[in-house]
Amino acid sequence: MVIGTYQIQERATGVAVSRVSLKNVSKRYGPTQAVNNLDMEIPAGAIIGLMGSNGAGKSTVMKLLSGVTNFTSGQLVIDDEVVELSHYNARFARSHGIASVYQELSLSTNLSVYENFFVDYPSFKGRRRRAQAKGMAEKALESVFPRNDIDVSKPVAELSLTQRQMIEFARATQNPNLKLLILDEPTSSLTTERIEQLHTFVRNLKQQGVSIIYISHKLKEVIAIVDSLVVMRNGCLEWEGAAADTTEEDLVVLMGGVGRERDVTEGETRVTDSSASPIVELKNFTSNSLYHVNIVARPGEIIGISGLEGSGQLPLLHTLFQHAGKRKDSIVVDCKAAYVSGNRAGEGVFPYWSIEDNITITNISRLTRIGIINRTAAKRMANEWFDRLKFKANSANDQITSLSGGNQQKALIARVLASDAELILLDDPTRGVDIETKQEIYDLLKHAAANGRTVIWHSTEDKEMEECDRVYVMRKKQIAREIIGPNIEESEVIAAAYLPVEDIPDHETSTQRTTKRSNSLLSVFRKRWFLPILAFVVVLISIFSINQRSMSSFGLGLLFSSAVPLVLAAFSEMFVILSGDIDLGLGAFMGLVNVICATYLVTKPLLGVLSLLILIGLYGAMGAIVHLRKIPAIVVTLGASFIWLGLALTIQSTPGGSAPQWLMSLYGINIPVIPEPIWLTVIFGVVGYWFLFKSKYGTVLRSFGNQPEAVVRAGWSSLKARITLYLLAGLMAVLAGIAVTAVNTSSDANASSSYTLLGIAAVILGGSEFSGGIVLPIGIIAGALTLSLIGSLLGFLSVGSNYQSGLEGILLILVLVSRAFQKRGGQQG
C-alpha cells in the first residue's frame, strides 16, 4: 500500500480542479486540539471518504466547512477565492453551495417535514410559500428515496429514526447552488434498500460535478463508493490515498485499530444451555404493532432482531421493556430489563450531566442509603467503567457532551451493564461508531452474556447479526424466520427480510380494527387544544346555568373585560416559554407598566410612551443576557422582578393615579352583540396564530425553541431569535399592564403580582411545553379565559375568593393528568 497524496484522476470533462481547500487549518476547544494543521484538497466532482476513529476530528472538519464552528487558524479557499475566516458562518457556507447531513440530525421535531424545508430555504415567497415548501419536500424525498411513504405534513416527532435520516439527506440536496455535500454517517439508520437508493443518488450528484465528503465507519461501504480516502488520527492527517488501492484491514491499522477481528471476548467462551428455562417468552403475542409473535430468550443468549425498517423491531423491544417483571398468558418477561435507545441525543444521554452521572443514573437506587446517594460508591462504579472502556476524556467528571458520539454510546451501554438488569435491550447500539469501538461493544455484550445475562439486540446492519446466537428476522410485524447458530450469515438475514414469504399474509386483527375505530373517535380528544377548550366551555356553561343574565352582551362584556390582561400576560409568557425559558418577573413588570400608565401617560405622555418603549427594549436585553452569558432565564427574570418593583415603588409608593381618558374611551367602545373584550381576545389569537404558524420567521422561532442548533445550521441567528422572542414578550407584557390600568382605572405596584404564575399556568393549561418549541395560541387563550372566569364562577356560587387559587390548581392538575392519558393513548395507538 502506497502512502502519500492521492490526486483524483482526470474526469471526462477535463482536469479536476480543487473546489475547496483547507490549508494548515487548526481548531482548538480550550485545552483540546480537535484539528491540528490539516491540509485537505476537495476536487470538483469527487467523492472523498473522510475516515478516522471516534474523536479523530472528522466531525470538527465538517462543522468548520459548514460554518457552524469558527476556525482557530488556517486558510479556507472556495473556488480559488480565499475566504475571510472572521466572516465565515453557516449562512456564508450555504450561499456558496456547501450543505451538510449531520449524524445527530438537525431536524426540528416539533415542525412538520415540509416546515423543516421551509426553515432551511427562506427563499420561498408569496402566499403559496408553504405549498412550495411542501412540494419541494415531496419531490426531494421521492427523487432520493422512491416509494418512501413519508407524509410531509406529519410532525417529525411522529416519524422513525430511519425516516428522519432520509428527510435530513433529501433536505440537504435542495441547496440551489449545491457544490459540496458533506455526509456524516448518512446510512447509520438506513436499511439496505435505502442505502442503495442513497448511493445511486450520490453517484448522480458526482456526475453533475458536485463534490462529496463521505464520513462513515462502515469501511466496506466507504471503499465501494468513494474515489479517494483521507484518514485522520488525533486531529491530524494520517494518510491520503486511492480507495481502489486500500483494504479494510489497511484502514483499521491507519485509524489506530488492532487490525484484526476477535471472535470472543478476551478468550472467554460462552456456552448457552438450551434446556434452561427462558426468561423471555412470547406465544402468539398480538398488539397494535405486533402480530402473532413467538420468541424465546434464555440466560446467556445474544438474540438478534432484524428485518426491513418498520417491520416491528422497535415495538418488540418496547413491548419487552414495558412488560419487564410481568407474566401474562401470551407474554412473560420474568426479570428486570434495561434499555439503550437508538436515539442517543434525544433519548439517551443527559447532556448537562457528567460521564459519571450518565453511567450511574440507572443504579441510583442501589447507590442510595436512607435517601442519600453514596457518592463514594457512585464514583467507584463510574471510574471502574471509565477505566475499563478507555473513554477519551480526562476523567469521569467530564461532561458527557465532551465525548465523541462513539464514546457517548459506550457510556450508555456501560449504564445498562452496570445495572442489575438480567435482560439488556439494545436499539442499534453501534450506530455511527468506529470499528474499534464496535468491537469493544461486541466484547461487552459477549462478556455480559457469558455472565448469564440475556441480550436482545436490534441492528440495522445485517452483518452484525453474525455476532448473535439466534436471530429473529421480522416482516410485516411478525417473525418471518428464526436463524440459529452456524446458519447465521448476512446473506441469510437479507434473504429472510427480502425474499417472498408465502405464509406471511397481510393482516388486520380485530384489535387493530377496533383501535382504528377508537383512533377515529378519539382523534379530537388527542388534539392539544381539546382539553383547554373543554375546560373553558365547562366553566362558561356553569356560569350561564347559574346566572342567565351573564349571557347578554353586557354580561359577557363584564365577564371577559377582566380576562384581557391575563390573556395578554399569558401571551407574554408564551413567547418566553417558546424559547425554552420561563419569566418569573412578569407580574412585577406589569405592575411597573401599570404605574407608568396611571402617572406619566396622564401627566407627561411623551415620557410615558418613551418609558414603555425602553421597557420593551430591556426585555430584549434580558434575552441577550440569557443567551450570551448562558445565565438561566429563571435567575435573570427573577432578579429583574426586583428591579421592576423597585422602579414602580419609586415612581408611586402607594396605590393611586388614574387611567388616561383616551385609554378608558378606547377600552370602553360599545360594539353590539359581541362585546369589545371578546373581539380583542379573538384578534390577539388570530394574529398570534398567523405569526407563529403561517409566517416565515414565526416558523423559524418555533424551530429555535425546539432545536437551536438546527436554526444555526440553517443559517439563521440564534441570538436574534431569542432577542426577538423576548422583545415580543416585552411588548405583550406592556399591553397587559396597559389593560390592567384600563380595568382597574388606577395603579398599584403590587396589584399585578399574581399574573406571573397565572400566566405560566395559562400557557401550560393551553397545551404548551416547558421544554420549548411547542405553543398553542388558541389553547393559551382558552386557558387564560378559564382561569379568569373561575373567580366569577365562585362569586356566583357565593364561595369566597380565598378558594380561587386552590380551584385553579386542581383544574391545572386535572388537565395535566388528562394530557398524560392523551399522550399514552397516542403512543399506544
The average pLDDT across 477-490 equals 88
From residue 16, how far is each of 45, 175, 179, 209, 641 by CA, in Å? Answer: 7, 22, 14, 9, 63
Distance CA 493, CA 433 (A): 22
The average pLDDT across 687-707 equals 93
**And the C-alpha cell for 427?**
436499539
Helix axis angle, 435-450 to 405-417, nearest 10°:
0
Distance CA 745, CA 336 (A): 64
* pLDDT for residue 823: 60
DSSP SS3 for 105: coil
Res. 510 pLDDT band, cuts 50 70 90: very low
From residue 301, how far is each of 61, 444, 465, 494 by CA, in Å? Answer: 41, 13, 13, 22
Distance CA 592, CA 749 (A): 6
* pLDDT for residue 14: 38
* pLDDT for residue 206: 93
* pLDDT for residue 683: 93
**And the C-alpha cell for 120?**
432551511
DSSP SS3 for 278: coil
Model pLDDT for residues 442-477, shown as the tens digit of each residue: 888 998 999 899 999 998 888 888 889 999 998 878
Q: Which residues does residue 155 pair with via DSSP β-bridges, in sequence order?
A: 112
CB 142 within 8 A of CB 734: no
Model pLDDT for residues 725-762, shown as the tens digit of each residue: 999 999 999 999 999 999 999 999 999 999 999 999 99
Which of these, 28, 399, 36, lies nearest to 236 by C-alpha position? 36
| Whether the predicted pLDDT of 10 surpasses 80 | no
Q: Domains of the chain, with CATH numbers?
A: 1-97+177-260 (3.40.50.300), 106-176 (no CATH), 280-514 (3.40.50.300), 555-828 (1.10.3470)
CA-based Rg of the chain, rounded to a whole angstrom?
Answer: 30
Model pLDDT for residues 339-357, shown as the tens digit of each residue: 888 776 667 777 778 888 8
Q: Which of 11-25, 318-332, 387-401, 684-698 has the lowest mean pLDDT?
A: 11-25
Model pLDDT for residues 208-233, shown as the tens digit of each residue: 999 999 998 788 889 999 999 999 98
* pLDDT for residue 105: 74
| Whether the predicted pLDDT of 7 surpasses 50 | no
Model pLDDT for residues 709-718, shown as the tens digit of each residue: 889 888 899 9
**And the C-alpha cell for 29?**
476547544
Distance CA 780, CA 500 (A): 52
Helix axis angle, 564-578 to 696-706, nearest 10°:
60
CB-hemisphere CA count at 13 Å for 478? Answer: 15
Distance CA 199, CA 210 (A): 14
**And the C-alpha cell for 435?**
470499528
| In the block, residue with C-alpha cell 485522520 | 232
* pLDDT for residue 262: 40
| Whether the predicted pLDDT of 724 surpasses 90 | yes
**And the C-alpha cell for 117?**
424545508
| Whether the predicted pLDDT of 511 surpasses 50 | no
* pLDDT for residue 524: 65
* pLDDT for residue 273: 64
* pLDDT for residue 567: 95
* pLDDT for residue 456: 94
DSSP SS3 for 580: coil
CB-hemisphere CA count at 13 Å for 280? Answer: 29
**And the C-alpha cell for 475?**
416482516
Percent of the chain with pLDDT over 70: 90
Ranges of H-type helices in 365-404: 375-389
| Whether the predicted pLDDT of 415 surpasses 80 | yes
**Element (DSSP H or E) covering residue 340:** strand 337-340
With b meaning 16 or more CB within 10 Å and e meaning fewer, what string describes 171-208?
bbbbbeebbbbbbbbbbbbbbbebbebbbebbeebbee
CB 298 within 8 A of CB 278: yes
| In the block, residue with C-alpha cell 458520539 | 405
* pLDDT for residue 270: 54
Model pLDDT for residues 635-653, shown as the tens digit of each residue: 999 999 999 999 999 999 9
Which of these, 532, 816, 52, lies nearest to 824 by C-alpha position? 816
| Whether the predicted pLDDT of 82 surpasses 70 | yes
The three-state (H, E, C) secondary structure of 736-766, written as one string: HHHHHHHHHCCECCCCCCCHHHHHHHHHHHC
Higher pLDDT, 781 or 348: 781
Residue 733 has a CB neighbour count (10 Å cut-off) of 32
Model pLDDT for residues 568-604, shown as the tens digit of each residue: 999 999 999 999 999 999 999 999 999 999 999 999 9
* pLDDT for residue 271: 56
- The angle formed by the CA atoms of residues 428, 432 and 436, to the nearest 5 degrees, is 100
Higher pLDDT, 9 or 292: 292
| Whether the predicted pLDDT of 509 surpasses 60 | no
* pLDDT for residue 386: 82
| Whether the predicted pLDDT of 424 surpasses 60 | yes
Do the strands 180-184 and 98-101 form a parallel or antiparallel pair, or are they unpaired? Answer: parallel
Q: Is 515 exposed, middle or buried (0-12, 13-18, 19+ CB in 10 A)?
A: middle
Contacts of 668 (CB under 8 A, 6+ apart): 676
pTM: 0.78
Distance CA 56, CA 69 (A): 16
| Whether the predicted pLDDT of 406 surpasses 50 | yes
The average pLDDT across 76-88 equals 91
Q: Is 125 exposed, middle or buried (0-12, 13-18, 19+ CB in 10 A)?
A: exposed
| In the block, residue with C-alpha cell 445495572 | 419
Which of these, 295, 317, 290, lies nearest to 477 by C-alpha position? 290
The average pLDDT across 242-261 equals 74
Average pLDDT, the chain: 84
Which of these, 411, 449, 762, 416, lies nearest to 583 by C-alpha position? 762
Percent of the chain with pLDDT over 90: 45
| Whether the predicted pLDDT of 418 surpasses 90 | no
Model pLDDT for residues 612-626, shown as the tens digit of each residue: 999 999 999 999 999
